[in-house]
Amino acid sequence: MSSLAAKIQDAFDEPACEKNRRKDVSTRKKGCSKPPTPGAAAGGCAFDGAKVVLQPITDVAHLVHAPLACEGNSWDNRGTASSGPMLWRTSFTTDLTELDIMMGQSERRLFHALRQIKEAYAPPAIFVYATCVTALIGDDIQAVCKRAAEKFGLPVVPINAPGFVGSKNLGNKLAGEALLDHVIGTVEPDDAGPYDINILGEFNLSGEFWLVKPLLDRLGIRVRACIPGDARYRDVASSHRARAAMLVCSTALINLARKMEERWQIPFFEGSFYGITATSEALRRIAELLVKKGANTEILDRTDKLIAEEEAIAWKRLEAYRPRLKGKRVLINSGGVKSWSLVHALMEIGMEVVGTSVKKSTVEDKERIKQVLKEEHHMFESIAPRELYAMLSEHKADIMLSGGRTQFIALKAKTPWLDINQERHHPYAGYDGMVELVRQIDLAIHNPVWSDVREPAPWEDDPAVEEQLSSPHTHTETVSVAPLKTRRLDAGDFAEC
Amino acid sequence: MVHIHPQTKSAAVNPLKSSQPLGAALAFLGVDGAIPLFHGSQGCTSFALVLCVRHFKETVPLQTTAMDELATVMGGEGHLEEAILNLKKRANPKLIGICTTALAETRSEDFERQIANIKMMRAEELAGTEIVLANTPDFDGALEEGWAKAVTAMIQRITRRGQQARPSRKATIIERITKPGEQPHKRKKVAILPGWHLTVADIEHLREMVESFGLKPVILPDVSGSLDGTVPDRWMPTTYGGTSVEDIHELGTAVQCVGVGEHMRRPAELLQKLTGVPYAVFQSLTGLKNVDRFVSLLSEISGVVAPPKIHRCRAQLQDALLDGHFHFAGKKIAIAAEPDQLYQLATFFIGLGAEIISAVTTTGASKILEKVPAESIQIGDLGDFEDLASDADLVVTHSHGRQVAERLGIPLLRVGFPVFDRLGSQHKLTVLYQGTRDLIFEAANVFQANQRMPSPEILDGLRKRRNAG
């Protein structure tokens, strides 16, 4: 536990994190995410975060050492794609019983589970995830992994990120640490070259990295390792021989990028493949870093040429959507994508961004969003479900882009919605991905169902109609009431007489 | 006699189970104005929530006590209290259903006492909100147990105790004879405790049938009100629809209780113990004979003969059995489901002439397993299922079975929870005459869609004579 505590502190101290640079020593120690409020918390735990980052490594067996829920309630729920091995989609858990826990048999069970997996699937490596219960009862997972690795002759990697230590984001970082400690640098490639790069924090959701990779191929740039999307264990293990790296989802793996720079002198930059300008910028910076590390400078010209070609095609394709989407108001409620780049592209085709979440954006991104949005109050960290519902049901946005968690808030408010998080079914990266995103926005906004679901039944009491109907009614009533009153008064007067 | 094989592997491969607290949460979601609260780390809730949303395609109110490292080491009472108070303040629910997770239960604190303390110390703030505790560690049981525990806990906590005044059967009969033309003032109440595996459509249909006998059904839990996909006109932080807390309180005024599924025996027994309401457990309400028994019971309680609509439904089922049995006869079926659903489906398929070649279930504790018409039952996961189902004509399980079906090249009939890759699972009818009829059609259509055109190779199989040579 002490080493875990050190790891966590290390993640909080991360010097490459822009947020950290602005903090003093004592606030830095506390980490970024506020502790969740009991009864008012949303979001995953550290284990969730660690698994999210590592599970897309396709040929590894991912074994969750826990009672059922950690894996049983969560497996096969993410849309990352593999171009080969499918083992990552097979779920493994020690599914601990009461007896295992009470009798202290869980370590033994873990060891046997490792044997079972090795014999049945012969994977290149097994990742073992610690969880709340197994951490609480003090299982020495590290020792079991070490013993199993020796005994079965394959890498067995302990992932020490039990749920209770913190947020999903912390789990992302702890996963990066595990790769640094146990995987990266353990295999020497025999084919390292001057155009090798790593892409860090790219998950290949709906296979979207395959919209970017052909661009890199055309430039003669080889992806040594994309971590974790569509990765193989060997690629990750030998990724320390890349010349440069791009960090895609910065908050998730910034520690990994910085430490790889420190240990193996792999320079990195933070970038995004969401949006046209962002994609171009990313390609340019990859080329620049490679040149810095000794690649031929002619790659810069080739990159510029490719960018010019691709941008022209993309903008032309997007132009078709301008008349249909101009002036439409979009609300972006997700930390999952680089909102700046998205904001820029959507505004470029004439859409109006009425709000964007900046929860996971970097300080630099926030500045850029501020500049393009002009109105600062359009940026928010997070928004309560009730407020969100109110905003949408008052039709303050024509579409919401978000993750599955808030999907039904939009739908119940009868507002078009598009998934831009991990469960989505469409690839949005690169130039073609951006066009696809805009196409999906168009399809969502202009779907004929909206007029159907928003109209009340004609036979139902429409409040407006009711008002019309009832107002003369009330009128006659008041009219008839008035004389009645007078009469009653008269009657009263009579009685008194 | 069915052989039940216990799980012997060390690693579960592709779990069949969903966790016990999730089952309890589903039950609490069937109560009006409720919020289930997981006592554990926030991931426990997040995973369950995402799974529920994927299944129901609804916003699902589900909260967490968000135990952190400190609470894990020092104890979670403070978090429990804070969570309850926060929920009360934010959402003012009528019921908070606490489902303990493995993390909280491994620490094994005295939650009952803690909750009693919180209620006492905060009596004023918490007025108007029932707090019910279900002990549901993930390392034990699955959906079925969690659901049953939550229902039992609600009856234990909320239902008014004591024999409650109601006319005896004799008195009613006398009344009917002496005052033939008069309607009784109050319709007779029937308490129905459905198992977790009944869909929204099942529960609506059950209600209609009971009402058609002039009876008043009170259904606990009633997901047909809360998870049926209706669109509320304002934002609701709790469930909307479902059994009212008041109805749970008055459950003892029913003349009869009906449990659906063996796992509802415990809550039904408790209700009887507390209030004297007699109960009948229907292990399955699918299949002609089971439904006949149910209709007979309703007829007996109400003293009313079955209305014409029910005659028509029964006749339709007879016809479906006649039309459908061709497609089922001799078919090899593999089922992986929780015990009661396994029983329901296995008896259904057997009843149409099919054969159960493999049966996998989540836990060995249920008595119903002995009655499942299969040679053997494996307690296990979808990895076991994949090994056992390779000769099947149809695999029957939830959506996680899609990988099995894909790899084996066998069609998959999706049942139970979770069903996240098909729409409308909650509106699928599986019980009573109509539900049985619909199931026949659905399965028969899967068989027909996967029928291969005859070829010499297929017919070769028929030519292999057992005793030849």
**Domain over A328-452 is classified CATH 3.10.580.20:** no
Question: Which one is predicted more confidently, A457 or B189?
Answer: B189
Q: How far apart are CA A382 and CA A257, in angstroms?
A: 27
Kindly calculate the radius of gyration of chain B based on its CA atoms and give it in whole angstroms.
24
| B54 to A389: CB separation less than 8 angstroms, yes or no | no
Q: Are A419 and A403 in contact (CB under 8 A)?
A: yes
Q: Examine the pLDDT at A29 and tell me if it is beyond 60.
A: no
Q: Examine the pLDDT at A495 and tell me if it is beyond 70.
A: no
Number of A/B CB contacts below 8 angstroms equals 223
Q: Examine the pLDDT at A414 and tell me if it is beyond 60.
A: yes
* Chain A residues near residue B48 by CB distance under 8 angstroms: 69, 73
- Look at residue B306 in the predicted model and tell me its pLDDT: 94
Taking phi over 0 as left and psi of -120 to 50 as alpha, with beta for the rest, B7 belongs to beta
* Chain B residues near residue A133 by CB distance under 8 angstroms: 102-103, 106, 139
In the CATH scheme, what is the homologous superfamily, with its name and number, of domain B312-449? Nitrogenase molybdenum iron protein domain (3.40.50.1980)
Segments of chain B scoring below 70 in pLDDT: 165-187, 465-469
Q: Which residues lie below 8 Å from residue A353, measured CB to CB, with a gap of 6+?
A: A329, A330, A331, A332, A343, A346, A347, A373, A378
Whether A422 and chain B come into contact, CB under 8 Å, resolves to: no
| A117 to B46: CB separation less than 8 angstroms, yes or no | no
Question: Which one is predicted more confidently, B394 or A338?
Answer: B394
Q: How far apart are CA B132 and CA B281, in angstroms?
A: 24
pTM of the shown model = 0.88
pLDDT tens-digit profile of A363-373?
666 777 777 77
Taking the domains of chain A in order of start, what are their residue ranges? Answer: 33-182, 196-318, 328-452, 456-497
Right CATH for B20-140 from 3.30.70.1250, 3.40.50.1980, 3.40.640.10, 3.20.20.450: 3.40.50.1980
Identify the three-state secondary structure at position B75: coil
| A45 to B9: CB separation less than 8 angstroms, yes or no | no
- Look at residue A490 in the predicted model and tell me its pLDDT: 37
Q: Which CATH architecture has domain B187-306?
A: 3-Layer(aba) Sandwich (3.40)
* A302 burial type by CB count under 10 A (0-12 exposed, 13-18 middle, 19+ buried): middle
Residue in the block written with tokens 């939550």: B150
Q: Which of A95, A96, A139 would best serve as a mutation to test chain B binding (most B beta carbons within 10 A)?
A: A95
Say which DSSP state A113 is in. H
Question: Which one is predicted more confidently, A242 or A376?
Answer: A242
Take residue B258 and report the two structure tokens written for it. Answer: 């009906």
- Which helix (H) or strand (E) covers residue B445, if one does? helix B432-449
* Chain B residues near residue A132 by CB distance under 8 angstroms: 40-41, 43-44, 67, 72, 102-103
Query: From the list B90, B142, B420, which residue is nearest A40 (CB)?
Result: B90
- Look at residue A407 in the predicted model and tell me its pLDDT: 85
pLDDT tens-digit profile of B413-426?
999 999 999 999 99
Domains B187-306 and B312-449 agree in fold: yes
- Look at residue B185 in the predicted model and tell me its pLDDT: 43
- Look at residue B452 in the predicted model and tell me its pLDDT: 80
State the smallest CA–CA distance between residue A425 and chain B in angstroms.
12
- Look at residue A290 in the predicted model and tell me its pLDDT: 96
Residue in the block written with tokens 């049953």: B148
* Chain B residues near residue A52 by CB distance under 8 angstroms: none
Q: Which residues lie below 8 Å from residue A27, measured CB to CB, with a gap of 6+?
A: none
Q: Within a 13 Å sphere around the CA of B425, how many CA atoms are in the beta-carbon half?
A: 22
pLDDT tens-digit profile of A315-332?
999 999 999 999 999 998
pLDDT tens-digit profile of A233-270?
999 999 999 999 999 866 788 999 999 999 999 999 98
CATH number of A196-318: 3.40.50.12380
Of the pLDDT bands very low, low, confident and very high (cuts 50, 70, 90), residue A301 is very high
Q: Which residues lie below 8 Å from residue B245, measured CB to CB, with a gap of 6+?
A: B31, B32, B33, B94, B95, B130, B158
* Chain B residues near residue A408 by CB distance under 8 angstroms: 53, 57-59
Work out the average pLDDT over A90-101: 94
- Look at residue A463 in the predicted model and tell me its pLDDT: 55
- Look at residue A356 in the predicted model and tell me its pLDDT: 82
Taking the domains of chain B in order of start, what are their residue ranges? Answer: 20-140, 187-306, 312-449
- Look at residue A26 in the predicted model and tell me its pLDDT: 62
pLDDT tens-digit profile of A55-81?
999 999 999 999 999 999 999 888 889
Maximum Cα–Cα distance across chain A: 118
Q: Please give the full DSSP string across B290-334, using - where no structure is assigned.
A: HHHHHHHHHHHHHT-PPPHHHHHHHHHHHHHHHHHHHHHTT-EEE
Q: Examine the pLDDT at A12 and tell me if it is beyond 90.
A: no
| A97 to B65: CB separation less than 8 angstroms, yes or no | no
pLDDT tens-digit profile of A199-233?
999 999 889 999 999 999 999 999 999 999 999 99
Domains A33-182 and A328-452 agree in fold: yes
CATH number of A33-182: 3.40.50.1980
pLDDT tens-digit profile of A106-162?
999 999 999 999 999 999 999 999 999 999 999 999 999 999 999 999 999 999 999
State the smallest CA–CA distance between residue B149 and chain A in angstroms.
17
The whole-chain average pLDDT of chain A stands at: 85
